[in-house]
Structure 1
Amino acid sequence: MRGSRSVPSKAAGRAGRRGPRRFTRRDTIVLGVLLGIPVLLEAVIVWGPTLASIGLSFTSWDGIGDIQWVGGKNYESLVDNYPAFWPAVRHNLLWIAFLGLVATPFGLLLAVLIDRGVRFSRFYQSVLYMPVVLSLAVVGFMAQLLLGTDQGVINTALGNESDPIDWLGNSDLNIWMMMIAASWRHTGYVMILYLAGLKSVDPALKEAAAIDGANTRQTFFRVVFPTLRPVNVIVGVITVIEALRAFDIVYAVNKGRNGLELLSVLITDNIIGEASRIGFGSAIAVVLLTVSLGFIVTFLVQELRGARDR
């Protein structure tokens, strides 16, 4: 019996003294392939064009002739002599505000209602998530069918066949209609993210809050919502990205003109349009990159500071 006891102890001692496992040549090759391919693809697809755009933004190039260095003239012309630039900036900022202050809270509200176990919750969840599978271009075509002046559903329902409201042609209305259409898709995405976060909240926290006398509203804002901080970070970043990359929905309606100017549309018009001003279009792309990074980095820093202070 003593001998049998000493064998495991010796084996355990040898296991404790055993150093870290060394990778074989095969392991190194496998790790190199698994890590190298994604890094290479990201460098080629993401960072390569990004750095190229930054460099080209200081040049004048039509895509065929020689590249000429112009310094900051593209940015000066963009700010001072390009009438569509500032309306596009305002529209992008308005898009961020609308998705962040209207669509995102509405998606959170839907998630809370479904999480409480209302009847037919599975049906509601499926119906509200369905728009997420549609591209914004399809949403734009659907908006044309609903809001068009020629037998549009909305004008027909309002009885305005003889004098229809130009929802898409009126520059004072079309930007709001497009943001509502984009919010229809964005709300379902936000709802699913928050619903997943609500399912992971410990029920004991709610029970403890109820015992302390907190009502439903106090329980949500003081107990449940603070625990959703990781989801808030994801939703905030996605909202900014969705707002700044909006392109196909306005391009499908009127090619992003007449009140629907966005920075993404200006980039496309200048780079692949008839003008082929690649350097100038790259300058707009750098502005869009700077705005997006400014929002996302600021939001992430604030959330990380809040998580560290807790």
Structure 2
Amino acid sequence: MATVKDGERTAVPNLRARPARRPGPRRYTRRDRLVLGVLLGLPILLDLALIWGPTFASVGLSFTTWDGIGDIRWAGLKNYDHLFTGYPQFWPAVRHNLLWLAFLGLLAAPFGLLLAVLIDRGVRFSRFYQSTLYMPVVLSLAVVGFIAQLILSRDQGALNAVLGSKNPTDWLGDPGLNIWMVLLAACWRHTGYVMILYLAGLKSVDPGLKEAAALDGASARQTFFRVVLPTLRPVNVIVGVITVIESLRAFDIVYAVNNGRNGLELLSVLVTDNIIGEASRIGFGSALAVVLLLVSLGFIVTYLVQELRGERRR
């Protein structure tokens, strides 16, 4: 054993554990500030310049009369008064936008859900069906409009050629028919998008829920409506938002068919015709754009309120 001689001092080790230093706030160098400024500042500037700037400019110009060249003159609410009372194309355009929303929401969305359920059950050639039905989604609405012209044209359309009638139907020229034909073309594209969204949602459903429902004696229909469909609530919200956006921003397909006229008037087309068309009534076109903005905000605010209420309940 080691002995300690008299007069010798031994070092007593400090058994107390030193508290670890807590790292303070990181000090950013000048280079770090420069990188953050570029990465955050440029998107903010682009957002302000391309979105919020034109938005507030449109709101301000909606109370003026301006042709884009002369002086800007204050008009007050005259543009809105003329819009609601003296502009005959406005209310048909509003009706067509609402019809667009109802058609996509009540026909295309449920049909997309049905196709997703059938493909999810593992039918034969499901990959082929999935790719074929999704293919229209990669096409722009303008291309869909050109395809509609090739099929539905009065003189050289494929549909009239197949029907072989002596008096061919003017599917795109008749104001009583063209809106329905264009809506069918839009639904053809929208259905594939909805199908992919619901198919992704169905793949994420816990199989144990279906098995538990089957053990409780629930039929396949009851399992879907009472177990599977409630779990698809986030997908339902996304589909609803996309459907509203598609119905309000519809422009390409009707403009490709007949410049959005003769029964195909939409609010977006009226905005374009008044701002960059021959009339060049920027103040009046801005009033139309503000109305479209308010309608969009109505749906967005409703969606956000429902989402916040759902989060609180959870």
Q: Which residue of 2 aligns with 1:216?
A: 220
Q: CA deviation at 1:155?
A: 1.3
Which stretch of the first structure deviates more once superposed, 281-290 or 30-39?
30-39
C-alpha distance in 1, partners of 2:206/2:45? 41
In structure 2, give the amino acid aligned to 1:285: A
Aligned mate of 2:57, from 45, 52, 58: 52
The answer as to 2:235 corresponding to 1:231 is yes
In structure 1, give the amino acid aligned to 2:136: P
| Deviations 1:261-301, CA, capped at 9 Å, x for gaps | 00011001100111100000000000111111112321332
| Deviations 1:89-134, CA, capped at 9 Å, x for gaps | 0000110111011101111111111111111111111111100111
Which stretch of the first structure deviates more once superposed, 88-97 or 190-199?
190-199
Q: Which residue of 2 aligns with 1:272?
A: 276
The answer as to 2:88 corresponding to 1:74 is no
Is residue 229–residue 303 contact of structure 1 (8 Å, CA) maintained in 2?
no
Query: What stretches of structure 1 of length at least 5 have no aligned partner?
Result: 1-5
C-alpha distance in 1, partners of 2:60/2:195? 40
In structure 2, give the amino acid aligned to 1:291: V
C-alpha distance in 2, partners of 1:126/1:80? 48
Percent of counterpart pairs with the same letter? 78
State the Cα RMSD in Å: 1.7
Q: Which residue of 1 aligns with 2:108?
A: 103
Q: Which residue of 2 aligns with 1:255?
A: 259
Q: CA deviation at 1:32?
A: 2.7
Q: Which residue of 1 aligns with 2:209?
A: 205
Q: CA deviation at 1:303?
A: 4.2
Q: Secondary structure at the match of 1:14?
A: coil
In structure 1, give the amino acid aligned to 2:299: F
Aligned mate of 2:89, from 84, 87, 92: 84
TM-score (norm. length: structure 2):
0.91
Aligned mate of 2:175, from 163, 168, 171: 171
Query: What stretches of structure 2 of length at least 5 have no aligned partner?
Result: 1-14
In structure 2, give the amino acid aligned to 1:228: L
Which stretch of the first structure deviates more once superposed, 241-250 or 35-44?
35-44
Pairing of 1:1-310 with structure 2 (within 5 A): 13-14=19-20, 17-160=22-165, 162-310=166-314
Which stretch of the first structure deviates more once superposed, 50-59 or 225-234?
225-234
Q: CA deviation at 1:28?
A: 3.3
In structure 1, give the amino acid aligned to 2:257: V
Higher helix share: 1
In structure 2, give the amino acid aligned to 1:250: V
| Deviations 1:176-199, CA, capped at 9 Å, x for gaps | 111110111111111111111111
Q: CA deviation at 1:24?
A: 4.0
In structure 1, give the amino acid aligned to 2:189: R
Q: Which residue of 2 aligns with 1:3?
A: none
